[in-house]
Chain A
Amino acid sequence: VQLVASGGVVVQPGGSLRLSCAASGFSFEDYTMHWVRQRPGKGLEWVSLISWSGDYTNYADSVRGRFTFSRDNSKSSLYLQMNSLKTEDTALYYCAKEQNDAFDIWGQGTMVTVSS
């Protein structure tokens, strides 16, 4: 069972970026999935969720309208499209699987740095 996140880079304020997360070892299409972020030296912040089918998404107020969470069950992959990036979006972004109303599997994280 594994989640591997990728796509994090250094980007200028106002820029865009797409993160990916590849899943393996479980029935990906059966589970709600999430993104959680951690700013440098800080705590954990939930960012977004997507239902198993992809029909339902929800976002933290801090990213709503700027981030879009999608999935491709045929590829066991998640995507987080991040637009209008702000310096406060600088963080390590984790993808996570939901089971029993908790995050039971986490990816290793991918670092997004928003800086001019």
Chain B
Amino acid sequence: DIQMTQSPSSLSASVGDKVTITCRAGQSVSTYLNWYQQKPGKAPNLLIYTASNLESGVPSRFSGSGYGEGFTLTISSLQPEDFATYYCQQSYTSPWTFGQGTKVEIK
């Protein structure tokens, strides 16, 4: 199985801050890397697919980059509704695996 490791596991930030979350794969996953946002009590919501493609309806302050083993999710200007847990996930090979999550909290 491909292990996905996110850093940090949690962070505190203020509204307006630029936030970067990193995801590292245990082996190359090419660009088969997706990012999700999950709020308490809700299902995850797809933000970015295949490393850098913004899902329809997702605000443009979210962006993704990377290839191979290293990826980043960037929120250019954190908004109050962005406080949530973020997960990366590889779809390069079965079993599809997720990172452990990064909780973004209010500073």
Give A residues with C-beta under 8 Å from B: 34, 43-46, 49, 58, 60-61, 94, 100-104, 106-109
Closest to A46 in B: B96
Inter-chain contacts of B96 with A (CB < 8 A): 34, 46, 49
Q: Could you write out 23 A-B pairs with CB less than 8 Å apart?
A: A43-B87, A43-B98, A44-B38, A44-B101, A46-B97, A46-B98, A49-B94, A49-B96, A58-B95, A94-B43, A100-B50, A101-B32, A101-B34, A101-B91, A102-B49, A103-B34, A103-B36, A103-B44, A104-B46, A106-B43, A106-B44, A106-B45, A109-B43
Q: Give the residue of A58, A94, A101 whose beta carbon is less than 8 angstroms from that of B49.
A: A101
**B21-62 contacts to A (CB < 8 Å):** 32, 34, 36, 38, 43-46, 49-50, 53, 55
Given that A43-B87, A44-B87 are known contacts, is A103 also in contact with B98, CB under 8 Å in the complex? no
Closest to A44 in B: B98
The CA-CA distance from A49 to B96 in the complex, in Å, is 10
Q: How large is the interface on B (under 10, 10 to 19, 20 to 34, 35 or more residues)?
A: 20 to 34
Report the minimal beta-carbon distance from A77 to chain B, rounded to whole angstroms: 18
Closest to B99 in A: A43
**Cβ-defined contact, A46 with B95, below 8 A:** yes
Inter-chain contacts of B49 with A (CB < 8 A): 100-102, 104
What 7 pairs between A and B have smallest CB-CB spacing?
A106-B43, A102-B49, A102-B34, A101-B91, A46-B96, A44-B98, A100-B49
